[in-house]
Structure 1
């Protein structure tokens, strides 16, 4: 049997199981329209006297229909797997499924007739997972406390690395061929850069060509990204109402039509953008500020940090906070209770400096009244912490930032508060007589403030009591606070640990609706560290903190730990998972207040050390990649000055910026990157397409017409690259020696990035 016939047989066997392919391989009618006329880019809108046909025509000749519309069980190549949990007599308010199949993100389960359930579509393989019940991880999935397993259908158990056990599921089936397309998911259909982007996922190497067939015309799909077992094909169409389907040709000449249903074969797009891309984010450059450690503009408010610090209230782990001079050494309290006096006025004083870096977005760590230097133990969500200044100074800062074209987003902490929160203090005093009793999860009363055994706290910390966000009063309080600061003048919100908030599938849509009603172009970012596309489908966040891109992929590539091919495959899975509109709004960072500084991660040393030349070169490589990918590049304060800091040493990455010191080479590099990005529209577009990868080198296109080529080499030896057809000119670095125009083969120096533009 020839390979094409074998492919078709395997496809039919796989799809017959999942119910995605019609038993008939031939359409009931024969259309006259040929599929030879195609376009790779959307045609410009033109005035015409002839209206387009209401529907496209199905292809002539034999083909295999693949139905992916309503009523399908799972996409071809995936198997429905049901997870259940019966709590018996236990009081359970929420259960989520977290495992290796969703990068340990959170998939809420639903209560049906006393049992929590969720059915998901998984590819064949072995998966480990746990349940997340009432905001807490299950310790041992094999024993729910009664000797029974949490999930009766688990196939096995495995150590979780923390003294407990994960459950294991073995999913059987074949992955010989699959096609995935769901226009309700922005990963497959989105509006990006005012274009309708349609994408199709398929098994690697099983698609020779693909065409988007619409009632307005046909559009050639091109291979965009790939990884070990899959690939994505992409095209653009005009942003308008259309009916369509996708025609695929296999390498062996077989044809497949990706259709909606047998009764209604065409997909329909109504021309409405329900998940708008925020252009100010896509075009922006972001800078993160940790206020207490950025700049001290008003020394008179420094001492105000000491009168409401959490250590003063804590009855289990009491202590005394300290107020230090700007250049004082780090103490064991540095993380949380050593104050240096940074404030809002200090940020205002540095706005011109930030503007010189090309910054257009500032992300502020928490500034609400709290009991620590980091601010994640909120006391009053509606009040500016006086240690940071007055509301008048805050309003002046926002006004001055906006005058310079800089927008500001603030940090919001809905999962937990601080022990100085008035509602929690009322519970501490009155027990269940307090009207706020149901705002928290109290295990025993009376209790001592700071006793993590008496009530539920974030990760068991008694200083961070968990909020019951399933309580309507708590929701009203929190969402009201978010809207309050948006009304005050902020432009967006970064949400702390949203995956730990109870009932996130209803809380965050409510938050989004309220915020967007007040300011439609407000930016909502969730602190999710893993590849988790379920959070950015249009009902919760615009973007996630993309550690999954910055730390998991780019950092390891810049270290030289990943080859170009390995890094590109991981990037392929990343870009396949998110809508192009989401990618265009990506909050792309490598380090933050929660990690070691990037230069330290790259081998530059700890605070006070002198970084090596190689670590500086690797920082330049990594930051250049960050500035050339879709989304907004995020710089943690001081990285642009070559600062060092090891998280393992009392969070020394948060040490105050010493403004009289800077690595001028690094500072000039970041300023040049801002100019590069500002002057190269393709680098601010939503479009990315892989070119090639080999050894330590990888290369990808940017722009809707592949007009820019970014080439990186993280290894210590030079690499050779065969340029795409045509002539190219180098736009980065400026001192690249070969003369323009370039064609044929070029040399890529060690630990470097070359950016070329079509001549």
Structure 2
């Protein structure tokens, strides 16, 4: 029934979706079946603590997410990812102490259900971070596990007599951590002891937790550290047996979740450098984040040259099922895009244009659409969302001080009604994905183009074909529409009105993007 309600609400909201901002060259609406339920395939990552505060304590909360759903709707996203919302002793929440409750600073279970109901009424899905590779060392399971006679002792991994206690973990730190005369496995830190998924009771508990949150209204999960369920030590980096055990577990979990909700969406964090290393995860999961692509998109935008982008897209097309990629630019663990691009506004727009004209389910990190900056350490990547020009405005999170030095113009108030703002640019691009479904679900291919300043790819879905062209350069560029490209003779969407086809040549102004049919 949840899926039926979701489709109905999505159709009800379609009128607002079809009125996107900034579409400079759009076809007239059609009566095809796709239009009433047009999706953008764009997700938005939210750190609740930093988002919007409704009770005046300076901490963002779930009611704040509900309060700003109309903003997300106007942006055009049709899914949100909530970073950890379970009780935790840390500010970030990636060490959970209770998997069935909401962090008290964020609200209650009733608030979560209200959020999912309100989101679904707007055609917006909600997935939440599921952090099950490890728990907090303050979780009741681990507190009980300290006693070797307690059944929970088998829920965690303990060093045997032959263990190499100086071993390096898969994340680069110490793998083993002392607890009296015992040593337990903590791939990330000693505050995050690893669960042992060879223990049947652990698997049953995690399946139950997943079913519990689906029943509360969640539409799926972002699976934290998905590859580390069995990948614990640096020596296991390319161990096929470890990969096989990881995939077996997630296949089992996926099946359990599908039985609870056939439309569940599972996306995993798998930090690998090549698309071929991501390929085995499709099936066990619905998607994994495309880390290799994120780095290259930013590099191409910054350098104003495609570099190895074309070759990488070719490998992605060969390795990742059509429409299932999860491209992004940055997330809560990485420097914000605008910082990586040294504050260059046009390069930021170029990176966004490439991201949002690639197929799959694209992910945006909160504040990215405003140009928020942020560099390490991690807390500075997760600073309060900028709603108002003044940081003391209503609802502004005060969980930490700002470090990036962003001006008042990097705020929703400043950009909301500015047709030339970065926010309007994101709205335009997201609207393109609804205008042309082939942009989000088309099969990807990369034609040979010799101009290094042009990023070009073709998308095909049945009888629909589109050629996407981005001028990465600060100078105007041309593309010859000859040979296999000759059939693309109409500019359907463009970010600048001066983009045009003359005598078989596409002329693109500096930093312009176009979609040809």
TM-score (normalised: structure 2): 0.76
Q: Where does residue 447 of structure 2 map in the other structure?
A: 691
Which one has the bigger strand percentage? 1
CA deviation map 1:303-326 (0-9, x unaligned): xxxxxxxxxxxxxxxxxxxxxx4x
Q: CA RMSD in A?
A: 2.5
* Structure 2 partner of 1:413: 131
Aligned to 1:452: 177
Answering whether residue 289 of structure 2 is matched by residue 545 of structure 1, we say: yes
Deviations 1:632-666 (A, max 9, x none): 221100111111111x2343120011210326211
2:486 matched to 1:725?
Answer: yes
CA distance in 1, matches of 2:188, 2:486: 59
**1:466 partner SS:** coil
2:299 aligned with 1:556: yes
Is the contact made by 1:289 and 1:365 (CA closer than 8 Å) also made in structure 2? yes
CA contact (8 A) 1:281 1:632 kept: no
Contact 1:282 1:586 in 2 (8 A): no
Runs of 4+ aligned structure 1 residues displaced above 6 Å come to none
Q: Does the aligned pair in 1 maintain the 2:495–2:513 contact within 8 Å?
A: no
Change (3 A) 1:365 1:281: farther
State the secondary structure of the residue aligned to 1:456: strand
Match of 2:457 in 1: 700
Would you say the 8 A contact 1:282–1:585 is kept in 2?
A: no
Report the Cα distance in structure 2 between the residues aligned to 1:735 and 1:720, rounded to whole angstroms.
Answer: 14
TM-fit CA distance, 1:451: 9.1
Distance, in Å, in 1 between the alignment partners of 2:447 and 2:97 is 51
* Residues 394-413 of structure 1 mapped to structure 2, 5 A cutoff: 394-413=112-131
SS state at 2:303 partner = coil
Unaligned runs of 5+ in 2: 1-36, 161-174, 231-244, 390-410, 416-420
1:434 is matched with which residue? 150
Matches within 5 A, 1:366-377: 366-377=84-95
Q: Which residue number in structure 1 is paired with residue 509 of structure 2? A: 749
Q: For residues 43-78 of structure 1, what are the alpha-carbon distances to aligned partners after superposition, in whole Å with 9 as ceiling and x for unaligned? A: xxxxxxxxxxxxxxxxxxxxxxxxxxxxxxxxxxxx
What's 2:45 paired with? 288
Distance in 1, Cα, partners of 2:488 & 2:460: 17
Q: Quick one: which of 502, 526, 536 aligns to 2:281?
A: 536
Could you tell me how far apart the structure 1 residues matched to 2:77 and 2:114 are?
Answer: 18
Kindly indicate whether residue 440 of structure 2 is the aligned counterpart of residue 679 of structure 1. no
CA distance in 2 between counterparts of 1:382 and 1:371 reads 15
1:460/1:706 Cα in 2 relative to 1: closer, same or farther (>3 Å)?
Answer: closer
Matches within 5 A, 1:453-468: 453-454=178-179, 455-459=183-187, 461-468=189-196
- Flag the structure with more relative contact order, 1 or 2, with Cα contacts below 8 A and sequence separation at least 6: 2
Kindly state the Cα deviation for residue 378 of structure 1 after the two structures are TM-superposed: 0.8
Cα shift at 1:750: 3.4
Query: 1:579 & 1:566 partners in 2: Cα distance?
Result: 21
Structure-1-length-normalised TM-score = 0.52
> Deviation at 1:727?
6.2
What is the CA deviation profile of residues 95-140 of structure 1, one whole-angstrom value per residue up to 9, with x for unaligned ones?
xxxxxxxxxxxxxxxxxxxxxxxxxxxxxxxxxxxxxxxxxxxxxx
SS of equivalent residue, structure 1 residue 525: strand
Q: Is the Cα–Cα contact under 8 Å of residues 730 and 754 in structure 1 kept in the other structure?
A: yes
Where in structure 2 are the equivalents of 1:13-24 lying within 5 Å? none
Residues 452 and 460 in structure 1, CA contact (< 8 A), matched pair in contact too: no
Q: Who is 2:21 aligned against?
A: none
- The Cα of 1:691 is off from its aligned counterpart by 2.5
Check conservation: 2:359, 2:441, Cα contact below 8 A.
yes
Asked if structure 1 preserves the Cα contact closer than 8 Å seen for 2:282 and 2:288, the reply is: no
Determine helix, strand or coil for the equivalent of 2:45. strand
Question: Which residue of structure 2 aligns with residue 526 of structure 1?
Answer: 268
C-alpha displacement of 1:517:
0.5
Question: When the two structures are aligned, how many residues end up with a matched partner?
Answer: 416
Structure 1 residue 641 and structure 2 residue 370: aligned?
A: yes
> Residue 286 of structure 1 contacts residue 633 of structure 1 at CA under 8 Å; is this kept in 2?
yes
**Residue correspondence of structure 1 range 21-100 to structure 2 within 5 A:** none
CA distance in 1, matches of 2:72, 2:318: 34
Task: Give yes or no for contact 1:689–1:706 (8 Å, CA) kept in 2.
Answer: no
Shift of 1:706: 6.0
More helix by share: 2
Cα 1:416–1:283 change in 2 (3 A) is same
In the alignment, which of 506, 516, 537 is matched to residue 258 of structure 2? Answer: 516
- Give a deviation string over 1:345-365, Cα, whole Å, max 9, x none: 000000000000001000111
